[in-house]
A and B are shown apart, each in its own frame.
Chain A
Amino acid sequence: MAKDILDVKNLEVWFPVRKGFVESLVSKEQRWVKAVDGVTFNIKDKEIFCLVGESGCGKTTTGKAILRLVEPTGGKVTYYGPGKEVLMKTMVKDAVDKGKMSKEQGDKMLVEGGLDVRALPRGKMKLLRQKMQIIFQDPYESLNPKQSIYDIINEPLVVNNLGANEKERENRVVQALDDAGLRPPKDFMWRYPHEVSGGQRQRVGIAGALVLSPEFLVADEPVSMLDVSIRSEILKLMLDLRNNMGLSFLFITHDLSVAYVFSDRIGIMYLGKIVELGPTEEVIKSPRHPYTKALISVVPKPDPRAKTDKIILKGERPDPSNIPSGCRFHPRCPFAMDICKTAQPEPLFVSQEHWVSCHLEKGAAQ
């Protein structure tokens, strides 16, 4: 079995709710928006792992929390990528040199051969983020319109003090553009974002991540703003990056059909928790959780003759500051039983790599 590159255990991101004056008088209790509430998964080396869910389910927050772009409030993130060795050496040497840290302390951050991301001092995250990069959703807003494409891609190098001189940096920028499929790179380098098409902008975003030669990429809805006709080109580019450069991906999307064709394993998220996780084909072809089944049934099919029975859930997702008791899906679940209102279902493996959190499974097993 392939080694892991990333392991996420019980990740929690809770945002405090600020109370009004009156409320602070009558209630001492601190309320939280539990955006991510105990998420556990792992990503194998060279794997494309996909998180799917409705907006507001916490999938983007999960991606950002892994890179500590939002600070997790609980849980553990362990990074196993090969880049961490180099990183540890630089970091520990630096800290020991300055007398800020003893060597033992540095070694502690290595847990079972991995690097505890949450234990890293904030200032050192920059080093780790060279290996873990993120691609954002909107290629129209994530690029600075006043910078040329060269400047946009060069900036990460400057910020991280990489490349000995201008010439070397230029070579790396050219290489990144080429890797992102903007060929020939010299044609694109001096253009501005408004001078290239939407698909090419997203490639610029990808090149900006690639220039640091990362090992792991978080791709947050990278194709949802693009026209359908060019989506698969961007997806293919990411597949190539995986196959040729050995990158691993956390792919975040709300579009199950994109997740289906693109990912190796898939996790279905609902209101801050993963409810079902397994190999993509198995989850899509034989879903176990009622939420997964409903999500799959409502994906529009490009075939007017395909009359499928849709499970259209009533209402919208509940407020993450007021999560329902028991199974958090029970108010919308067509099969909710009494136990669902009181007890949280534990994950249950239905095959070697496929697990689901639902009380129905337990009932079926007994």
Chain B
Amino acid sequence: MVLLEVENLRTYFKTQEGVLKAVDGVDFMLDKGQAMGLAGESGCGKTTAALSIMKLLPANGYIAGGKITFMNQDMARVTGDKLRAIRWRDISIIFQGAMNALNPVKRVGDQITEPIILHEKVDEEVAMKRVKELFELVGINPNRIREYPHEFSGGMRQRVMIAMALACRPRLVICDEPTTALDVMIQAQILALLKSLQKELDLAMIIISHDLSVLAETCEYLSIMYAGKIVERSSAVEVFANPQHPYTKGLIAAFPNIKGAKKMPASIAGNPPNLIHPPVGCRFSPRCYMAQEICKQEEPPLVEVLPGHYAACHFVKKLG
């Protein structure tokens, strides 16, 4: 069952220098219970794409085109109370650096009961009971609900944020860099938790990260974004085993692999482009080792290269 469908999404920002095209034609689909990873360098528009789904854009941002369908509703038409009902009940988000997003002067339990009481119109006792269940689910001692955020460590606070995101039993959770500020050991704990929650609750997830290795461990599907566009999309195994786009190849090669030989990883020369004046043609062409004349003139479409494997490059062969 298709839970979320994003078609040709364009999200722009008005800035003093001009219109910044943060997301410029992004398509993807997500089934129930599926985890998709959205990868790319900082500033490639991955967070903006996620915020567009929840309509949480800052004041100068707007959706300039495209269609977002979530649970058969056109999100463009959903506003006001209806939108508020969808947020948290159906879609929730764990923000980047979420562990610092807790209110320091409120007990963690109270912070989590708030959305439950608001959305489900239950009394406090029922809500508290739910919070205790949630704490157990994410691996925190339920007796700690009356503690304050400063009494929790970074990893534990991240668990609280995950519990909070799950408070109203959403279908879709968007995790924006869920482990970026955490230690490797805590990161492993949180990733294992997300993975088990996905199975247990049949949760769909969009995990946003610049760290391909984190996504490799948690997601079945991967979309690679570059300068506001998806350049490659397939199952995670396919993307790693058989990368088609030069950018994907470069990203994978940039990762030091502790299991492999001791050698310096490659880097991608240059910097991501300015999205107010993006390069003509393929946006990756100024940094691409394969770039030819055509790349500087024509924008390559996202085509199916292998069954279920899409890439946007002039030098990939279309299936069939």
Contacts and interface: CB of A to CB of B under 8 A. Distances in A.
A198 B271 CA distance: 10
Interface residues of B, number: 43
Interface residues of chain A: helix, strand, loop or mixed (majority):
helix
Given A199-B271, A227-B41, A231-B254, A316 B186 contact: yes
B252 interface: yes
Interface string B182-193: 011111110110
Contact of A232 (B185, B252, B267): B267
Nearest to A200: B271
Contact of B41 (A229, A239, A300, A302): A229
Given A304-B216, A304-B237, A229 B262 contact: no
B61 to A, nearest CB: 21
B184 A228 contact: no
A202 B82 CA distance: 46
A294 to B, nearest CB: 7
A55 B183 contact: yes
Given A296-B258, A301-B258, A305-B241, A236 B213 contact: no
A306 B258 CA distance: 12
Contacts of B187: 298, 300
Contacts of A300: 187-188, 191, 211, 213-214, 216-217
A77 interface: no
Nearest to B184: A298
Contact of A295 (B156, B185, B210, B267): B185
B271 A228 contact: no
Nearest to A332: B185
A299 interface: yes
Given A305-B241, A316-B186, A228 B216 contact: no
Contacts of B250: 229
Interface in B193-242: 210-214, 216-217, 236-237, 240-241
Interface stretch (A24-32, A111-119, A250-258, A334-342): A250-258
Interface residues of A, number: 43
A141 interface: no
Nearest to A255: B184
Interface in A227-246: 227-233, 235-236, 239
A14 to B, nearest CB: 22
Contacts of B186: 54, 316
B240 A260 contact: no
A301 B217 CA distance: 7
A304 B217 contact: yes
Nearest to B42: A227
Q: Which 10 A-B pairs have the closest CB atoms?
A: A298-B188, A300-B213, A232-B267, A302-B255, A257-B256, A302-B213, A261-B256, A229-B268, A304-B236, A304-B216
Interface of B: 41-42, 153, 155-156, 183-189, 191-192, 210-214, 216-217, 236-237, 240-241, 250-252, 254-259, 262-269, 271
Given A228-B255, A256-B258, A281-B262, 5 more contacts: A229-B267, A254-B184, A255-B184, A299-B258, A304-B236
23 contacts: A54-B186, A197-B271, A228-B210, A228-B251, A230-B268, A232-B266, A236-B264, A254-B183, A258-B256, A260-B262, A261-B264, A296-B258, A299-B213, A302-B216, A303-B216, A304-B216, A304-B217, A305-B241, A306-B259, A308-B259, A310-B188, A312-B189, A316-B155
